[in-house]
């Protein structure tokens, strides 16, 4: 049986990771949907002072990976992102962007997530797709 991680548990997993460094914070979680916000600041912009595409992809992978973590029994399975793609549609200098993840496929060995990255005005910045492998944790004998 899976345990739906709550927001506090998800955010605690980010301590001392790239997610913490980039200021990513999960704000909503439900079965098959997850949302996180990330600041647009000196950690996440490119030289033209707009959101960096790499930071956008880091947000998208963080959202989709965390979404899968909420759907599996973490004592029996591990989650590993194996493919990510993204199309950067727009640019932003807004204070925050939001990664909105929606589960497209939930199989026994893989999950596929769509992650929309929008700025605080609701403008679409990027559309991303992440495939995660669900890997059984081998028990010690």
Range 105-129 burial, b when 16+ CB lie within 10 A, else e: ebeeeebbbbbbbbbeeeeebbbbb
**Mind giving me the DSSP string for 70-114?**
TTS-TTTEEEEEEEEEEEE-----SSEEEEEEEEEEE-SSEEEEE
Q: How many CA atoms lie within 13 Å of 98's alpha carbon, on the beta-carbon side?
A: 14
Which one is catalytic: 8, 9, 25, 61? Answer: 61
Catalytic residue check, 61: yes
- Catalytic residue set: 61
């Amino acid at each position: 049986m899976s345990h739906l991680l709550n927001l506090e548990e998800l955010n605690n997993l980010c301590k001392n990771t790239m997610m913490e460094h980039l200021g990513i914070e999960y704000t909503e979680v439900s079965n098959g949907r997850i949302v996180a916000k990330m600041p647009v600041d000196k950690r996440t912009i490119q030289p033209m002072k707009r959101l960096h595409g790499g930071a956008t992809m880091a947000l998208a992978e963080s959202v989709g990976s965390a979404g899968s973590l909420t759907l599996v029994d973490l004592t029996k399975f591990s989650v590993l992102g194996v493919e990510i793609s993204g199309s950067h549609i727009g640019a932003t200098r807004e204070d925050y962007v939001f990664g909105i993840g929606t589960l497209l496929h939930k199989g026994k060995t893989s999950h596929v997530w769509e992650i929309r990255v929008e700025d605080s005005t609701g403008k679409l910045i990027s559309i991303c797709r992440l495939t995660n492998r669900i890997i059984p944790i081998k028990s010690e004998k």
